[in-house]
Amino acid sequence: MRLRLGIIGGGQLGRYLCAAARELGIVTVVMTDEAEPPAAATADRVIHGGLGDLAAARTLVEAVDVVTFEIEAVGADVLDLLADADARGRVAVRPGAGILATLRNKATQKRWLVDAGLPTAPFRAFNDASVRLTAADLDGFAMPVVQKSQVGGYDGRGVHIVHGLADLDEQLPGPCLLEAFVPHVGEFAILVARGVDGDIRCYDPVALRFEPRRHVLDEVRVPAGLSEAEVATCRALAVRCMERLGGVGVFALELFLTPHGEIVINEISPRVHNAGHLTLEACATSQFEQHVRAVAGLPLGPVALQAPAVMRNLLWRGPPAPAVPVPVRLAGSTAHIYWYDKSEGRPWRKMGHLTACGPTVEVAGREAEAGCAAVLAFTDGACG
35 in the same domain as 153 = no
139 in the same domain as 68 = no
pLDDT of amino acid 176: 95
Residue 175 sits in a domain whose CATH number is 3.30.1490.20
For residues 4 and 339, give the distance between their C-alpha atoms in angstroms, rounded to a whole number.
Answer: 26
353 in the same domain as 219 = yes
Task: Give me the sign of the Cα torsion angle 12, 215, 162, 347.
Answer: negative
pLDDT of amino acid 150: 93
342 in the same domain as 276 = yes
Tell me, what amino acid is at 311?
Answer: M
364 in the same domain as 309 = yes
Give the end of a domain, one of 40, 74, 93.
Answer: 93
For residues 311 and 377, give the distance between their C-alpha atoms in angstroms, rounded to a whole number.
Answer: 19
Residue 108 covered by a domain: no
**Neighbouring residues of 321: CB distance < 8 A, sequence distance ≥ 6:** 344, 345, 382
Residue 329 covered by a domain: yes
Give pLDDT tens digits along the chain (384 positions): 899 999 999 999 999 999 999 999 999 999 999 989 999 999 999 999 999 999 999 999 999 999 999 999 999 999 999 999 999 999 999 999 999 999 999 999 999 999 999 999 999 999 988 889 999 999 989 999 999 999 887 766 889 999 999 999 999 999 999 999 999 999 999 999 999 999 999 999 999 999 877 788 999 999 999 999 999 999 999 999 999 999 999 999 999 999 999 999 999 999 999 999 999 999 999 999 999 999 999 999 999 999 999 999 999 999 999 998 999 999 888 999 999 999 999 999 999 999 999 999 999 999 999 999 999 999 999 999
pLDDT of amino acid 332: 86
Angle, alpha carbons 142-103-269 (nearest 5°): 90
78 in the same domain as 145 = no
Give the end of a domain, one of 180, 208, 225.
Answer: 180
Residue 244 covered by a domain: yes
**Neighbouring residues of 107: CB distance < 8 A, sequence distance ≥ 6:** 123, 125, 127, 150, 175, 177
Residue 317 covered by a domain: yes
Residue 248 sits in a domain whose CATH number is 3.30.470.20
Residue 107 covered by a domain: no
**Neighbouring residues of 239: CB distance < 8 A, sequence distance ≥ 6:** 192, 200, 202
pLDDT of amino acid 212: 79
Domain extent at residue 134: 122-180
159 in the same domain as 196 = no
Strands 249-257 and 186-194: antiparallel
321 in the same domain as 234 = yes
Residue 116 covered by a domain: no
Give the end of a domain, one of 163, 180, 197.
Answer: 180
- The count of structural domains within the chain is 3
204 in the same domain as 162 = no
For residues 169 and 28, give the distance between their C-alpha atoms in angstroms, rounded to a whole number.
Answer: 45
167 in the same domain as 296 = no
pLDDT of amino acid 72: 93
146 in the same domain as 207 = no
Residue 98 covered by a domain: no
272 in the same domain as 212 = yes
Residue 82 sits in a domain whose CATH number is 3.40.50.20
Residue 105 covered by a domain: no
pLDDT of amino acid 75: 94
